[in-house]
Structure 1
Amino acid sequence: MSLFTMPSLGADMEDGRLVEWLVKPGDRVAKGDVVAVVETQKGAIEIEIFAAGEVAELLAEPGQQLPVGAPLARLTEAGAPAAPAPQAPALQAPPPAPPVPTPPPAPAPAPVAPEPRGAVLASPAARARMAELGIALAVGSGPGGAVLLADVERQAQAKAPTEPTPPGPKGKPGLDMAEMRRAIAAAMARAKRDIPHYYLTHDIDLQTAQDWLTARNADRTPDQRLLMGALLIRATVRALARYPELNGRYEAEPYAPAPAVHCGLAIALRGGGLIAPAILNAETRDTDALMDAMRDLVARTRAGRLRNSELTQGTITVSSLGETGVDALLGVIYPPQVALIGFGTPRVKPMIHDGRVQPRLAVTVSLAADHRVSDGRRGAAFLAEIDRLLQEPDHL
């Protein structure tokens, strides 16, 4: 028997509100299954379970605000045999009892009325929300086609008229921007207090990479084209293979680099706010696969459909200013990570190439790193390795 508890979805989380259960007592679950939806300052997050077993009991009700670590459900371990019933000690057989008259048979129970034909299979939260909105859904995305709360909300959004988001602290339903700012500020204050930062910046010539991208995208449809951001992340991930101390989570002594690269991607939300979910196992993905993962992650982040593993397992974060027009950023490490890479806006600059000053596309890259696990010399070599890799995009 084990407890499934409210997970911590980042250094800035203290509690969360259970929105919906996606399992019920008696369901069998496997590691990685999504079993609940929890709302935090970062929006509604799909919660995965990290142990296989059977749901024995749900200990929390939808709507409850629960602190990190609070019990949510009780599980029996997968394959655990039932405890044998205790055997009574052998006793001398008693004399036979006199026969007992057989009682008359009890009347058969009345048959349970079956579900009416056409009844909708739906979670209680989904039923209540459908009644509130006057929406009727026959099939949803849950087990056996059950309608879930998320299905109802998607249908409600699809039917709602498109109107500009009204100004105010809540730019999107279920996401309190003021609360998100408070949580981000608390995490960053902790980072600056506990992590001894050092900073480095370096200008990288991107013209070769841009020319390669132009040629690579020439025959692709817009939805299949590679963006410069995919190349920047691929080069960062590849460079970590030579400088692994910058990839990890400082959670215990002695510090040990992470065996896989779960690369966090800072994503700006429409209406304000920032979330940095991770592309898991980024070192196993080529540039095209990273581009696909980036598109998927950005879409799900803005739709409020992230999983807790994407928020809790990041080992390094990349933040890019894109086309905002700012040359550089100096970031704050997201604890318990030990490094953050920042890319400014690529722009044409005078640079020396082949012995001549030429207009070339360039970007300023910055490194914020934890002095407990690396130093300026190693950090500088890491940025130089990113530069070297971007000069050979064919090999990325």
Structure 2
Amino acid sequence: MTAVEQRFREFKMPDVGEGLTEAEILKWFVAPGDTVTDGQVVCEVETAKAAVELPIPFDGVVHELRFDEGTTVDVGTPIISVDTDPGAGEAAPQAAPAAGEAVAEAPAAAPESEEKEGRQANLVGYGAAPASTKRRPRKPLPSAQRSAPTPSAAAPAPQAPAPAPAPARPEAAPELNGSGRPARPLAKPPVRKLAKDLGIDLETVTPSGADGIITREDVHAAAEAVQAARETPVAAPATAPQGRERRVPVKGVRKATAQAMVNSAFTAPHVTEFVTVDVTRTMKLVSELKQDPELAGLRVNPLLLVAKALLVAIRRNPDINATWDEGNQEIVYKDYVNLGIAAATPRGLIVPNIKDADAKTLPELASALGELVGTAREGRTSPAEMSGGTITITNVGVFGIDAGTPIINPGESAILAFGAVKLQPWVHKGEVKPRQVTTLALSFDHRLVDGELGSKVLADVAAVLERPKRLITWA
């Protein structure tokens, strides 16, 4: 490895957790020429689970940002290069070799195919690249820097005029096809990735860059042409709905959620049961708890008591808190409850969970619930906070919905939907009176939860919400 190669270090897209294989670059916080320090956040990326800020693990000056914002990058791919010794570029010009000495020829850039064969991606974060790793060609430096020769570890010889540039090697010239264009389209890796994402064959793209290189603009132009052709009816082009449709790539949280729901719906046999319950006493208790000094400043709402009621029902019926291990053909019963709360965010539906919710007091549960919701709304939920859930609550009532048939979160056995609380006529103590009523729906995996167990859990939740004093005697 040359001195120049040692100067430039590459920061690779790390595995930010849960075995994710790719992430989208949402925003760069640095630009070429900026000074960075160890631990400084250089970009924000979005995985299939959360938005994460990435700190760089070394000091230096940003040399190149390898990908644009909005690009999805595989884990282990270099995303930024940093000059860790920027002062080396200001060293005195290297002297020409003395008479009779051989001139070392700079090696030509390896073809891309060889690059791919020689590269060994570091799938977890960053690290020193092996000596055999082949690097892709660097971007040309500004003219002021291009005139400065590469520093060398060899002792300087007496200064002499620099030799004239050697002619290009014949084998370095791209192979041409019959039309005079390169046999293999010329494009940088980000452009190739963009073309792949948009479904564009680079063979069909007309290059506009120097030396026949295909640019991002060329790919976008080709994609727009394809889209226009699809939207234009053959028989009656005059009736085409212009500007009445929008197409948005499926990626990030929405892509992961869609795949997880499909897998869950077609893997676990879902059964959903419903119960309508008078929650007038619960709503009164919520009002009283809001005045309790021990809960001052905490999030106190009906969802808090629904969560507590579910935790009580799980304690009375612990077999509901389990998961189905398809690989080992086992049911895994869990002696802890990581309570998931489905949260709708601008990035899509996520399900962070409260770890060991069953061991928390009511004030502790209220605090954890408030922090969970606040973090989700701000888009700061980490992948770890969304992993390891055992059972979930989805509060569809906040949208005015009475009930639904929720899909079980993958890896769990059940999910409880909490409907809207509405004032309805209800028979109370033998008389029809206006009461606050809601509907609960429990979906469960019928492979490990039979109808009796599911019914007991739902009935216990309803009983606690109808008479919340049971929290004292059952908890």
> How far off is 1:361 after superposition?
0.8
> How far off is 1:205 after superposition?
1.3
The higher radius of gyration belongs to: 2
- What is the distance in 2 between the residues matched to 1:261 and 1:62? 43
> How far off is 1:6 after superposition?
5.3
Q: Residue 374 of structure 1 aligns to a residue in which SS?
A: coil
Alignment partner, residue 89 of structure 1: none
Alignment partner, residue 66 of structure 1: 74
| Kept in 1: contact 2:49–2:350 (CA 8 A) | yes
Q: Which runs of 5+ in 2 are unaligned?
A: 1-13, 29-37, 55-64, 77-120, 128-245
> How far off is 1:62 after superposition?
9.7
**CA 1:297–1:350 in 2, change beyond 3 Å: closer, same or farther?**
same
Q: Which of 208, 221, 226 is residue 300 of structure 2 equivalent to? A: 226
- What is the distance in 1 between the residues matched to 2:258 and 2:323? 20
Alignment partner, residue 415 of structure 2: 340
Trace 1:268-283 onto structure 2 (pairs within 5 A).
Answer: 268-270=344-346, 273-283=348-358
Alignment partner, residue 393 of structure 2: 318
- What is the distance in 1 between the residues matched to 2:66 and 2:453? 49
Alignment partner, residue 166 of structure 2: none
Trace 1:220-369 onto structure 2 (pairs within 5 A).
Answer: 223-224=297-298, 226-251=300-325, 252-270=328-346, 273-369=348-444
**CA 1:45–1:244 in 2, change beyond 3 Å: closer, same or farther?**
farther
Residue 39 (str. 1) matches residue 39 (str. 2): no
> How far off is 1:232 after superposition?
0.4
**CA 1:325–1:44 in 2, change beyond 3 Å: closer, same or farther?**
same
Q: After superposition, what is the alpha-carbon deviation per residue over 1:322-356, rounded to whole angstroms, capped at 9, x for unaligned? A: 33222112101111211111011111122222222
- What is the distance in 2 between the residues matched to 1:355 and 1:181? 49
- What is the distance in 2 between the residues matched to 1:206 and 1:62? 57
| Kept in 2: contact 1:37–1:45 (CA 8 A) | yes
Give me the CA root mean square deviation: 3.8
Q: Residue 239 of structure 1 aligns to a residue in which SS?
A: helix
| Kept in 2: contact 1:18–1:62 (CA 8 A) | no
- Name the amino acid aligned to 1:228: P
- What is the distance in 2 between the residues matched to 1:72 and 1:62? 18
- What is the distance in 2 between the residues matched to 1:70 and 1:257? 36
Q: Residue 380 of structure 1 aligns to a residue in which SS?
A: helix
Trace 1:47-86 onto structure 2 (pairs within 5 A).
Answer: 65-66=73-74, 71-73=123-125
Q: After superposition, what is the alpha-carbon deviation per residue over 1:288-319, rounded to whole angstroms, capped at 9, x for unaligned? A: 22221121111111222122221111111100
- What is the distance in 1 between the residues matched to 2:383 and 2:268? 24
Q: After superposition, what is the alpha-carbon deviation per residue over 1:137-167, rounded to whole angstroms, capped at 9, x for unaligned? A: xxxxxxxxxxxxxxxxxxxxxxxxxxxxxxx
Alignment partner, residue 215 of structure 1: 288
Q: Which of 15, 34, 51 is residue 22 of structure 2 equivalent to? A: 15
| Kept in 2: contact 1:239–1:385 (CA 8 A) | yes
Alignment partner, residue 262 of structure 2: 189
**CA 1:183–1:202 in 2, change beyond 3 Å: closer, same or farther?**
same
**CA 1:7–1:253 in 2, change beyond 3 Å: closer, same or farther?**
farther
Alignment partner, residue 392 of structure 1: 468
- Name the amino acid aligned to 1:260: Y
Q: After superposition, what is the alpha-carbon deviation per residue over 1:181-233, rounded to whole angstroms, capped at 9, x for unaligned? A: 33322211111111111110001211111112222223669843511110001
| Kept in 1: contact 2:269–2:446 (CA 8 A) | yes
How many matched pairs? 273
**CA 1:178–1:383 in 2, change beyond 3 Å: closer, same or farther?**
same
Q: Which has the higher contact order (CA 8 A, sep 6+)?
A: 1
- What is the distance in 2 between the residues matched to 1:268 and 1:224? 21
Q: After superposition, what is the alpha-carbon deviation per residue over 1:87-143, rounded to whole angstroms, capped at 9, x for unaligned? A: xxxxxxxxxxxxxxxxxxxxxxxxxxxxxxxxxxxxxxxxxxxxxxxxxxxxxxxxx
Give the TM-score taking structure 2 as reference length.
0.50
